[in-house]
């Protein structure tokens, strides 16, 4: 899998929810794009990821 431009060895069939946990992120503060398509948060638990996927994780950071 390529995550934010870096090849990572993540098991096939992992869900987006499991990936977020593995990366120690908060699902409330990220948006996940898989193969150039934004995945709705309500699908994170069921959407499976595979080695050929290109994933972008966009984090929201507060500031001012």
Domain assignment of residue 33, yes or no: yes
Domain assignment of residue 64, yes or no: no
pLDDT tier for residue 60 given thresholds of 50, 70 and 90:
confident
Domain assignment of residue 20, yes or no: yes
Range of the domain at 35: 2-59
pLDDT tier for residue 64 given thresholds of 50, 70 and 90:
low
d(CA 51, CA 6): 12
Q: How far is CA 13 from CA 33, 51, 52, 59, 60, in A?
A: 16, 9, 11, 23, 26
Domain count, the chain: 1
Residue 63 predicted with pLDDT over 80 = no
Domain assignment of residue 22, yes or no: yes
Domain assignment of residue 14, yes or no: yes
Over residues 44-56, the pLDDT tens digits come to 999 999 999 999 9
Domain assignment of residue 48, yes or no: yes
CATH number (domain holding residue 30): 3.10.20.30
Over residues 14-38, the pLDDT tens digits come to 999 999 999 999 988 999 999 999 9
Q: Are 51 and 1 in contact (CB under 8 A)?
A: yes
Q: Which residue has the tokens 């638990």?
A: 45
Domain assignment of residue 47, yes or no: yes
d(CA 52, CA 39): 17
Q: What is the pLDDT of residue 56?
A: 98
């Amino acid at each position: 899998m390529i995550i934010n431009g870096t090849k990572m060895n993540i098991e096939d069939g992992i869900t987006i929810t499991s990936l977020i946990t593995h990366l120690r992120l908060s699902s409330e503060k990220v948006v996940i794009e898989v193969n150039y398509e934004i995945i709705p948060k309500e699908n994170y638990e069921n959407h499976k990821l595979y080695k050929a996927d290109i994933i972008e994780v966009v984090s929201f950071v507060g500031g001012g």
